[in-house]
Structure 1
Amino acid sequence: MASVAARAGVSGQTVSRVVNGSSHVDPATRARVEQAMAVLGYRPHRAARALRTGRSHTIGVIAQTLATVGNSRMLQAVAEAAARRGYALTVVTLGADGRIAEAFGRLLEQGADGAIVLNEASALAADADPSGLALVVLDSAPDPRFGVIGTDHAEGARLATAHLLARGHRTVLHVAGPRASFAAAMRERGWRAALDAAGAVAPEPVRGDWSARSGHAAARGILRRRGGEAGPVAIFAANDQMALGVLRAVAESGLRVPDDVAVVGFDDVDDAAEFLPPLTTVRQDFDALGDLAVRQVIVRVEEGGSVPADPPLLLPMLVVRESS
């Protein structure tokens, strides 16, 4: 740092401000310091900085699994947002029998400043003490111990269901997510709300586990139970992977999408437009979620920020394609 300061003709404190992203540096001075850093190959030493500041500039990410598309997409968004702010990530997956208290302990042992809990693991966050970690939980009921962010899943599901009803369907069948999932519960709530508002009957949902395989099995059961019933069917799947399984089951039954069975998913994953037919779905802004999660963690780490009284919910958007 002293070498950078000498080459740029500034003080060591100014170099420190540039390294730490302070806004209190003249743009021309910042450019001169950054050029000196590039020429000299200077990089901040994270371990040394942690000893000096008491912070590791590391954020933990806790997920039940990374096998689901939504969790993988969220991890990518969080990683990019953290890198932009000079933070590293350490990832802990819980697995089927994982205990979130142990995950918190592991992150504390590794010196993480804070943590972000993703989706299905959010249900476990209320049962463990996150003391010592600045914590933000994705898709959870409000809790005074941590920050909460998420998508307005209920509104997204309402939009999807209302769209199918507007296409002339008398009701909409639902392939729901896991019972323990907060997001799945909110999507089911939005589906029911749209049916209630239209005076339509809400059939018993068929539950899957977010996988395409479970969506396929659910749709096969739905189509088998309908037998020879006349008239088109509408199915709202709680995520795009299960919707993919629904599309396969419909094709195997010799039926056509959307003529015989209209299908809508949720998430708008990167490949949704490449399904056959292209999938109507509800788009979550994963990049915005990741950025908001990282910003909230850093505020809590660096400024001792308080938890918002009303957790911010990002509004989803219905993307209409050929499947409906």
Structure 2
Amino acid sequence: MADVAAAAGVSGQTVSRVVNESPRVDPETRRRVEQAMTDLGYRPHRAARALRTGRTQAIGLVVSTLASVGNSRMLQAIADAAATRGYTLTVVTSAAGDDIADAFERLHDQGVDGAIVLNEATARARGASVPAGLAVVVVDSPADSRFSVVQTDHAGGARAATAHLLELGHPTVHHLAGPAGSFAADERARGWREALHAAGAPEPEVLRGEWTAASGYAAAAGLDPAATALFSANDQMALGALRALADAGRDVPGAVSVVGFDDVADAADYRPPLTTVRQDFDALGAAAVTALVAAIDGEGSSVETLPATLVVRASTARR
């Protein structure tokens, strides 16, 4: 650091401010210091910084599984957002039935500054013991005074999907829900139900899957033969439903209109291209990391809800 200071013609304190991204450095001075760092091959020493500041610039992610598309997308989004802020990321899986407190302890032992808990794991986080000093943010969860919460407006997106199908003239909309106990699945079912009630439409019995295309196929095989509209709680289950309907000789959208949720990268290439509700995974991941950094800095808990947007494609049609 002293060599960088000498090369840039500044004090060691100024170099420290540049390294720690302090706003108290004018742009020209920052440019000179960064150029000196590049010329000299200077890299901050993370271990030394951690001893001085008490922070490791590392965060953890607790997830029940990475097999689902939504969780994988969120992992990528959080990893990108963490890297942009100069944080490393450690991932710990905590399957259903595991004590999530063990995952918190493992992360705490690795010296992370905080942890993000993702989707299905959040229900177990609410009652878990958290090590002192470990900041926690949960993604997709009811409000909890101990943690900050970042979530998509699942219910709002589901209401928009269901209303779209009703506006096309379908007498009601059947629902292929996600796993019982999932906050996102429950919220999407709530939005579907609210849209039906608001329109005075009958509420069919819920079909249920496990977020996978295979479970969507199995569930949709039991769809009422009189059904003309189906809202699936995610795009993967919608993919399985499309195959089940095709195997049953029911054209989409001629006989049945189908809407998904998530807008995964392949949704526009389904056959037919899938009408779906778009979650902004990049914005959700960035918001989670921002909330965690705020929690690490000692700020109070907060709740942030991001909008979900209906994307209309060829899998829905007027009845």
TM-score by length of 1: 0.95
C-alpha displacement of 1:95: 2.4
CA contact (8 A) 1:116 1:293 kept: yes
CA contact (8 A) 2:96 2:121 kept: no
> Aligned to 1:267, which of 246, 262, 285?
262
Residue by residue over 1:134-168, the C-alpha shift from the partner in whole angstroms, topping out at 9 and shown as x without a partner, is 11101111111110110110000000000011111
Q: Distance in 2 between matches of 1:260 and 1:98?
A: 44
Q: Which amino acid aligns with 2:234?
A: N
Q: Which amino acid aligns with 2:110?
A: Q
Count of residues in Structure 1 that have an aligned counterpart in Structure 2: 315
C-alpha displacement of 1:312: 1.5
Q: Distance in 2 between matches of 1:91 and 1:142?
A: 24
TM-score by length of 2: 0.97
CA contact (8 A) 2:259 2:275 kept: yes
SS of match in other structure, 1:263: strand
1:317 counterpart residue number: 309
2:27 counterpart residue number: 27
C-alpha displacement of 1:49: 1.0
Alignment of 1:195-234 (within 5 A): 195-222=196-223, 225-226=224-225, 229=226, 233-234=228-229
C-alpha displacement of 1:96: 3.5
Q: Which amino acid aligns with 2:106?
A: R
1:112 counterpart residue number: 112
CA contact (8 A) 1:208 1:218 kept: yes
SS of match in other structure, 1:50: helix
Query: Is it true that 1:282 corresponds to 2:283 in the alignment?
Result: no
Q: Distance in 2 between matches of 1:44 and 1:97?
A: 41
2:193 counterpart residue number: 192
Query: Is it true that 1:72 corresponds to 2:64 in the alignment?
Result: no
Query: Is it true that 1:149 corresponds to 2:150 in the alignment?
Result: yes
Query: Is it true that 1:240 corresponds to 2:235 in the alignment?
Result: yes
Query: Is it true that 1:169 corresponds to 2:177 in the alignment?
Result: no
C-alpha displacement of 1:51: 1.2
Q: Which amino acid aligns with 2:78?
A: V
Q: Provide the aligned C-alpha RMSD in A.
A: 1.0
SS of match in other structure, 1:127: coil
| Structure 1: 5+ residue stretches without partners | none
Q: Distance in 2 between matches of 1:164 and 1:85?
A: 42
CA contact (8 A) 1:64 1:98 kept: no
CA contact (8 A) 2:119 2:182 kept: yes
C-alpha displacement of 1:236: 0.3
C-alpha displacement of 1:299: 1.1
Residue by residue over 1:208-251, the C-alpha shift from the partner in whole angstroms, topping out at 9 and shown as x without a partner, is 110010001011111xx52xx4xx61000000110111111111
Q: Distance in 2 between matches of 1:288 and 1:95?
A: 26
Alignment of 1:7-86 (within 5 A): 7-86=7-86
Q: Percent identity?
A: 64
Q: Distance in 1 between matches of 2:9 and 2:154?
A: 53
SS of match in other structure, 1:191: helix
C-alpha displacement of 1:97: 3.1
C-alpha displacement of 1:254: 1.6
C-alpha displacement of 1:132: 2.4
